[in-house]
Structure 1
């Protein structure tokens, strides 16, 4: 039964997709130039993985409408599906973004320790601390945290959240739990 909320649903789709696009643009701008010696260091591997995951996410097709010509109930059902799909994509992109920013902090911290030098035994303790910090940051990127960040930002912006999927739906449809294909 039509409920008069299709305009709100369509606006919500646009909001979520705009967030998704902004996150993807940031991920696409990630650049790091490791030397041959650094190429397989943990943070650089993670950055490449995040970019690869973002490319895979972008390549997935969006659902196409089926027979929604003017029927408000069909449009409502379709918009609800799109809200869920868009929310899952944004959730995945936010996970990738948080992991990429942790890796970029690792790159910057490592560069600060090395100060243009090649790594040597004198750097071992400081580089281990940088690795530990990265691992700690990565372990703090949980599905609950991601969902809370997104929901809080949306609520603070006064967005309509009535039909946004909950954490369990996001987890089920996003797959990979708290991890990623590259962790």
Structure 2
């Protein structure tokens, strides 16, 4: 059941990121916030296309093998959810930047009078992006799961996931 919950979270975040629509003008295409949004969409797509890393011998009714296989599936699902949560937090910061930029500019082109406000929202976005650390992502996921009363005892920690990612390379 826990694996299904994790994969459901992954699917919901993946769907959210896939449905982000920010259509900058040609002049704004390379503005930092729009670049971050495109990068997030690429990360989400690459994560979805990545093959699952939970192959192993068939359990054939062997309890220990079944347990091993479930732990591999849980680890892979947890890594995917962790990565998509990280991408989601970055995309959210970039969307706040887009909305703030639109609020400042309206339908106008940037002018010198807008520079301080635009610089402020860019600095805010950069600070938010810098705050998307593994510890923050893990805390966000665990807090959300705890609030919802989910069973977390067997969830892998970030250090376990990080080690698994390193070993895959």
| Normalised-by-shorter TM-score class | over 0.9
| 2:123 aligned partner | 132
Q: 1: CA distance between counterparts of 2:161 and 2:55?
A: 20
- Would you say how many aligned residue pairs link Structure 1 and Structure 2? 165
Match of 2:73 in 1: 82
**Unmatched segments (≥5 aa) in structure 1:** 1-10, 176-183
Alignment-derived partner of residue 48 in structure 2: 58
Cα displacement string for residues 84-135 of structure 1 (whole angstroms, at most 9, x for unaligned residues): 1111110000000000010000000001110110111111111101101101
Among 65, 89, 103, the alignment partner of 2:94 is 103
The corresponding residue for 1:167 is 158
Measure the CA separation in 2 of the matches of 1:22 and 1:72.
32
Q: In the alignment, which residue of structure 2 is the partner of 1:69?
A: 60
- Structure with bigger RCO (C-alpha 8 Å, 6+ apart): 1
Q: TM-score, normalised by structure 2?
A: 0.93
Match in the other structure for 1:181: none
Q: CA deviation at 1:174?
A: 4.9
- 121-130 or 41-50: which moved more? 121-130
Whether 1:93 and 2:84 are equivalent positions in the alignment is yes
The reply on whether 1:33 has 2:28 as its aligned counterpart is no
Is the counterpart of residue 20 in structure 1 residue 10 in structure 2? Answer: yes
Pair 1:47-2:34 in alignment: no
Structure 1 window deviating more from structure 2 (55-64 vs 109-118): it is: 55-64
Structure 1 counterpart SS, 2:6: helix
Give per-residue Cα distances to partners, 1:151-180, cap 9 Å, x unaligned.
Answer: 1111222212121111212333456xxxxx
Structure 1's 171 and 122: CA in aligned 2 closer, same or farther, altered over 3 A?
same
The unaligned stretches of length 5 or more in structure 2 are none
